[in-house]
């Protein structure tokens, strides 16, 4: 059986617009827009920058993220992370040294996931 596919947005890539994926996404570049990967993980690498909402099963941030973080399982902010966002997730792991400015709403994670999925469906042309 082949390994699971991954999408990588490289260091030299800038994406403007929303990203939807049905596989794990690793961001090493810059994304100006929302990232929806409801069934998989999103990783924002050190040096990367996301300007928009991120919705995923698990979100790991080592770089910068400005916008809402919505995770079904866990949001993990590493020491090198700089995050300015509201977080909706049942669990949050914040390493010493990480910069976080925002609020955490553990009880709203399920509702936020449903809203994000609905927004994508309504934006997708039929």
Backbone angles phi, psi at 28, to 5 degrees: -115, -15
Greatest extent of the chain over all pairs of C-alpha atoms, in Å: 46
pLDDT at 118: 62
pLDDT at 83: 97
Q: If you search the block for the tokens 């469906």, which residue do you land on?
A: 121
Whole-number average pLDDT of the chain: 88
Q: For the residues 80-104, what does the mean pLDDT come to? A: 95
Q: Is residue 112 pLDDT above 70, yes or no? A: no
Report angle CA 9, 40, 123 to the nearest 5 degrees.
Answer: 75
Q: Is residue 47 pLDDT above 50, yes or no? A: yes
Q: Is residue 121 pLDDT above 70, yes or no? A: no
Q: Is residue 125 pLDDT above 60, yes or no? A: no
Output the CA–CA distances (angstroms, integers) from residue 22 to 11, 31, 57, 64, in the order listed: 21, 17, 11, 23
2 band by pLDDT with thresholds 50, 70 and 90: very low
pLDDT at 15: 97
Extended beta strands in 53-112, E state: 54-61, 64-66, 69-77, 82-84, 87-88, 92-94, 99-101
6 band by pLDDT with thresholds 50, 70 and 90: confident
Q: For the residues 77-101, what does the mean pLDDT come to? A: 95
DSSP state of 23: S
């Amino acid at each position: 059986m082949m390994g699971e596919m991954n999408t990588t947005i490289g260091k030299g890539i800038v994406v403007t617009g929303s990203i939807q994926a049905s596989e794990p996404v690793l961001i090493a570049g810059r994304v100006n827009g929302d990232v929806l990967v409801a069934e998989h993980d999103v990783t924002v690498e050190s040096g990367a920058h996301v300007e928009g909402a991120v919705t995923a099963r698990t979100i790991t941030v080592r770089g910068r993220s400005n916008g809402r973080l919505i995770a079904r399982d866990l949001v993990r902010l590493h020491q090198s992370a700089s995050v300015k966002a509201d977080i909706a997730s049942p669990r949050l792991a914040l390493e010493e040294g990480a910069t976080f400015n925002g609020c955490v709403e553990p009880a709203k994670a399920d509702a936020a996931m449903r809203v994000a999925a609905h927004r994508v469906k309504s934006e997708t042309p039929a």
